[in-house]
Amino acid sequence: MQALMPEPQIYVERTLAIIKPDVINKEVEIEDIILRSGFTIVQKRKLQLSPEQCSNFYVEQYGKMFFPNLTAYMSSGPLVAMVLARQKAISHWKELLGPSSSIVAKETHPDCLRAIYGTDDLRNGLHGSANFSSAEREIRFMFPEVFIEPIPTGQAAKDYLNLYVIPTLLKGLTALSKKKPADPFIWLADWLIENNPNTPKLRQNVIVEEP
């Protein structure tokens, strides 16, 4: 009898997307393209960064000739930061964005987002994380409260539930049966929030929200 092959573990990735200051008026239009391209917008916020915060965000570009202009541009007005999720989110979002230079994008990939919404090498309209480690760092920068972990599906999801979710839920149901509160649903929800073993430690928020 032929042995069954194990179900492959497929993970949903997260990546950071930024609608830059000069195209923020196209926010609704761009979000529609994102959703129609198979992404889920997990987190979203509108904010304005200071030049110092932009320097910290683009620390990997520090020392390059365009760095001062980049930080000045990114701090020139409000922007929209989003956490996008789907399978292979990082590579799919990079493909949708196109080349980093909008001038090149207009010539080689005229249908990509940077060709449509960008202007030149600097003002290219949108940002996307380069790889997984960059996505993790950038998401934590923009959303310090977000817990970054690949989202499992299939058998991996079942294993995750059995290992991390069900034990905590059983403890909560046991406590619920002993407490017998007037509103069991609200009580259990509050208990799970207070006793979640995976609650991340919040870092100090370095983002300046738009007034």
> What are the structure tokens assigned to 24, written together?
């923020």
Query: At residue 131, what are phi and psi to the nearest 5 degrees?
Result: -160, -175
Q: How far, in Å, CA of 76 to CA of 40, rounded?
A: 28
Q: Please state, as a whole number, how many other Cβ atoms lie within 10 Å of the Cβ of residue 54.
A: 19
What is the C-alpha to C-alpha distance for residues 125 and 117, in angstroms, rounded to an integer?
A: 5
For 79, the enclosing helix (H) or strand (E) is strand 79-87
Q: State the sign of the Cα–Cα–Cα–Cα dihedral 25, 26, 29, 31.
A: negative
- In single-letter form, the type of residue at position 195 comes to N
On the 0-12 / 13-18 / 19+ scale of CB atoms within 10 A, 180 is exposed
Tell me, yes or no, if 109 is annotated catalytic.
no
- Catalytic-role residue among 127, 128, 138, 191: 127
Would you name the residues annotated as active-site residues?
Answer: 127
